Structure 1
Amino acid sequence: MNKAYIHQLLRKFIEKDLSSEEFLKLKEILADPNYEPLIHELMAEEWEMIKPVLNFSKGQSEYLFKRITKDKRFTDSIQNKKKHFRMLINTIKIAACFFVVLISALVIYNYHNPQSPDYVYYTSPLGKRSYYLFPDGSKVWLNAGTKVRIAKDFQGKFREVFLEGEAFFDVVHNTKKPFIIHTGNILTQVLGTAFNVSAYPKKNISVVVLRGKVGVKDAKRLVVFVNPNQQLAYDFKTSVLKTEQVNAELYTSWTKGELELNDVSVEEAAEIISRWYNVKIVFKNESIKKSHFVASFETNTPLKQVIEIISKLNKFNYEINQNTIYLSE
C-alpha cells in the first residue's frame, strides 16, 4: 500500500468524507506495525505544514481527541467486531500519538476556521499608502507596510478583518452583520463608523474614532467603548487598556498623505519614517532615541527635508547613503 493512499485516507477522515470501509482500512493500517515508519513520516510532513497556523491549548487538544475516539464509526466497529478487540486496542495505542498531534491538530484548525473560506488579501507596501473598497462597500485606507485579510465576500456571520499594520476604516452600517477587526489579543467591533487602527507587530495597539462608536474587547473579555475624538491604547507588554481624548484628525491625516509626528520619540519617528519612505535608519548613538518632539509635514515632503527638520529639532547629525540614513550626536 503506497504512501499517497494512506495520506488520502487521513485527509478524507479530516474532511469527514471517509466511507465506513475506508475507515476500517485506516484502522487496520494504524494497527499494523509495518506501517508505523510511514505513518511517522506522514505525521511529520503534515505537522510541519500546519504548525505555523495552529494556536490551541492543551484542553482543546484533549477535548477534540475525545471527539475523534468517540467517532460513531469507531465505537460501532468495536461493538460489532469484538473478536478483533485486541487489534482495536493496539490501534488506539498506536494511533494515540498520531491522532493527538496530527488529526487533532487538523481538526482543531478546522474547528477554529469553520467552512475554511477562501481569503482575499489587501496590502500596502513600504513607502506607499493604498485605498481599497471591501465587498460590503466599506472603505479602507492602508498605511505603509500594512496587510489585511478578509473572508471572500465576507462569508460568515460577521464581517471579519485580520489586520497587521495601520488602517483607516469607513464602515458601511449593517446591524445584522457586525464588522470585527482582529489585531492580536484585541477585537474591535462596530456596526458602522469611521476609525483608525494601528497594530504593527510587537507594538502597542491604538484605536482612534473619528465618527460613531466602537467596542474594543481584550483577551480578558473586558469591553471598552470608544467615542469620537477618543483613543484607546493597548500596551502589548502589560495588556493594559487606556483611553484618552485626542484630536482624531491628527491620527487620520496620513490618509491624505500628510505625515504627523505627534509627541513621538526620535526612535518612534524613525520607525514611522522608515515605513513611510521605505528606508533604513541606523542610530550611531543610543542617546538620540529618547528625545521627544512634534512635527507635521505636508503631502510629498521630500525625505531629506523631513530628516533635516527633525535633526534641527533634536540636535543630531545625519548622513544619507543611498537607502540608509545614519543618525549621530
Structure 2
Amino acid sequence: MKRDADLLQELIDKVQHNTASRDELRLLLQLLEEEDHRVLMPAEEWLQSESQPLPAGLKSKVVNTALQRTTTVKRGYFRRWLPYAAMLLALLGLVLLWPRHKPVYTTVAAADGEIKRIALPDSSVVILNARSVIRYSDTYAATSRDVILDGEAFFEIHPDRQAPFIVHTGNVQTKVLGTSFNVKRYPGEKLVVSVASGKVKVMARAGKEVVLDKGSKASYDSAANQFASFREEPHNMNLWQQGIINMNNLTLAEVSTVLERWYSVRIVLDMPETGRHVLSGQQANTSLESVLESICFIYHLQYHRQGNIIRINKK
C-alpha cells in the first residue's frame, strides 16, 4: 500500500511539473477512479498539493472533462472526490490540452564565397561551405543532437555516447557518436558523405544504409535508393576549407557548380559535351580567372565573361 501511495504522489508531482508522459497520465486517471485511493492519500494531502493557474477558458474545459469521467462513480463518493479531483484533472488538462512547446530554430547561413565556422551548444564545431545553411533547435543537446543541413559542411563532433549526433539531409540521416566528417548535398546533386576520423552510419529510406570509417566516402542516388562507396584520403576531405578545389574525378559541369557558389556567378557550357570532361588534380582558389584559364588551357577551351555570366566553349 505504501508503494502505491508513493507512486500516486510521484505521478501528481510529474503532472504539476509538466513532465508526465501520456502513459503516466492514464495510470493516474486509473488510480483516481479506484475507490480505495482515499486510503492511499487523504483528501487533506491532495488539497495541499501545489496548484497551477490555468489559461482563460481551459479551466471550464477540464472541469467538464472531470464531470464526464465521473458519471459512473457513485454519487456519495463523487462528492468526496470532486474537491481535489477537479484540481488534478485541471493539471492533466494543462498537460494534454495546452499547446506543446514548439521548437525555436537557430539558422546559420554561409553566403556565396563565404566559409563560416560555428560552435554548437555541446562544443561541437561545424564549418559551413559557401551557399550552405544549417539549422538546429533550442532543445539541441538537452533532448537530442540533431541538425538540418542544406549544402556542405565539415563536422567535428564532441563525443557523447548517450546522445548520438544526427545530420538530416533530405530523406537521409547521418548518425555519429564522436568523429569528424564531411557532408555535401546541394540541390540537384547527390549526397556525399566522407569520414576523416571515427565512424558514421548513413541511413536512407526503405532500410538502405552504409557504415563508413576513416578514409571512406559514399554517395547516395535518391532515384535508385542506392549507395556507392569509395576510398579517399582524409586530408583531401577539407581542402575546400583551405580554398583549394579538389577536381579529382569531377566533370567540368561539377566543377562549374563549385565555382558558381564560390564566386556568385553563372557558368554556361555552350556545348553539352564540354561538361563531360573529367578533371584531375587540385586547383588553388586564387581567382576565378586563374581557375578558368587553367581549365581552358588543358582542354583547349575558351571563356567569355559578361557581367556575372561566363560562357565556356571550344576554341
Question: What range is the shorter-chain TM-score in?
Answer: 0.5 to 0.7
Distance, in Å, in 1 between the alignment partners of 2:242 and 2:311 is 28
Q: CA deviation at 1:19?
A: 2.3
Matches within 5 A, 1:1-329: 19=58, 21=60, 73=65, 76=68, 115-152=101-138, 154-298=140-284, 300-329=285-314
Query: TM-score of the superposition, structure 2-length normalised?
Result: 0.68
Corresponding pairs, count: 234
Determine what percentage of the aligned residue pairs are the same residue.
28
Q: CA deviation at 1:287?
A: 2.0
Q: CA deviation at 1:153?
A: 5.6
Distance, in Å, in 1 between the alignment partners of 2:144 and 2:59 is 36
Query: Structure 1 residues 153 and 135, CA, compared in 2 at 3 Å: closer, same or farther?
Result: farther
Q: Residue 249 of structure 1 aligns to a residue in which SS?
A: helix
1:208-230 CA distances to partner (integer Å, 9 max, x unpaired)?
00000011111123332100000
Distance, in Å, in 2 between the alignment partners of 1:283 and 1:257 is 24
Q: CA deviation at 1:202?
A: 2.6
Q: Residue 262 of structure 1 aligns to a residue in which SS?
A: coil
1:225-248 CA distances to partner (integer Å, 9 max, x unpaired)?
100000011012211112221223
Query: Structure 1 residues 227 and 155, CA, compared in 2 at 3 Å: closer, same or farther?
Result: closer
Q: Which runs of 5+ in 1 are unaligned?
A: 1-15, 25-71, 81-109
Deviation above 3 Å: which 4+ runs of structure 1?
Answer: 20-24
Q: Which amino acid aligns with 2:293?
A: E
Q: Which moved more, 1:164-173 or 1:305-314?
A: 305-314
Distance, in Å, in 2 between the alignment partners of 1:255 and 1:268 is 18
8 Å Cα contact 2:215-2:231 kept in structure 1: yes
> Which protein shows a greater Rg?
2
8 Å Cα contact 1:135-1:153 kept in structure 2: no
What is residue 27 of structure 2 aligned with on the other side?
none
Q: Which amino acid aligns with 1:170?
A: E
Q: CA deviation at 1:177?
A: 1.2
Distance, in Å, in 2 between the alignment partners of 1:22 and 1:176 is 40
Q: Cα RMSD over matched residues?
A: 2.7
Q: Residue 136 of structure 2 aligns to a residue in which SS?
A: strand
Q: Which amino acid aligns with 2:200?
A: V
Distance, in Å, in 1 between the alignment partners of 2:134 and 2:239 is 20
Q: Which amino acid aligns with 1:313?
A: I
8 Å Cα contact 1:215-1:226 kept in structure 2: yes
Q: Which amino acid aligns with 2:58?
A: S
8 Å Cα contact 2:208-2:226 kept in structure 1: no
More helix by share: 1
Q: Which amino acid aligns with 1:179?
A: F
Q: Which amino acid aligns with 2:305?
A: I
